[in-house]
Amino acid sequence: MPKKSGKGVLYAENETEAKDLMLEYTKSIDLDRALVSDSTWATTLRIACDPKEGIAVAEATLLTDLQELRSETNKTARRDAIATQWGTLSGRTATIGGAVQNIASQCRAQYIAGSPVDFSYGATMTETAFEALGASWKTLGTWASGQGLTQFQSFRWLPVENKEEKGKGSVGATLARRGRQGNLFVSIRGITYNVHIDIS
């Protein structure tokens, strides 16, 4: 439980508590921990434990990071950074079409916008269709690797599972629940995106 300094500043007792509090805060402002650099995260935890600065200052630091992450300048920088390799990859996904093309485009959009790394793909599909998609997604990754596309890596997928039965049914802080889902993954410049697909 946070302590209060003589000046009324609430601060974390230790790094573990600071981490729990800051993770909870990142969720509340829709900021993924994966999008915060390790150095910034370490600084934030230090601030949260400091009786002179405390939790409120640490939260303000994260909020500033979020605003910078989603600034138009940084969005443009991220778009430009992957433009060349995305041009190559998108040409390939256009020949495949369908969900592969749509999901790859959505992952790119999430990266550019600084949006959450976990998101759902809107179309529900059968397990058979998902398995075919997973195979195509993995094949795309093999092709990308062969083309030397180092900014787009680790194309993989996980078989369908019942998230509710696995204790993974919660969707953040919402009342929504997950049922049977499959997952696709891709890493864009070191940031891993996890695409959830509902299975009928």
**CB environment 149-166: b (16+ within 10 A), e (fewer):** bebbbebebeebeebeee
Q: Cα angle vertex 85, ends 79, 87, to 5°?
A: 80
**CB environment 18-46: b (16+ within 10 A), e (fewer):** bbebbeebbeeeebbeebbeeeebeebbe
Q: What band does 174 get if pLDDT is binned at 50, 70 and 90?
A: very low
**pLDDT over threshold 60, residue 35:** yes
With a threshold of 0.75, does the pTM exceed it?
yes
pLDDT tens, position by position, 94-114: 999 999 999 999 999 999 999
**pLDDT over threshold 70, residue 157:** yes
Q: Which two tokens stand for residue 59?
A: 């939260």
Q: Give the residue among 86, 76, 125, 128 at the shortest CA–CA distance from 107.
A: 86
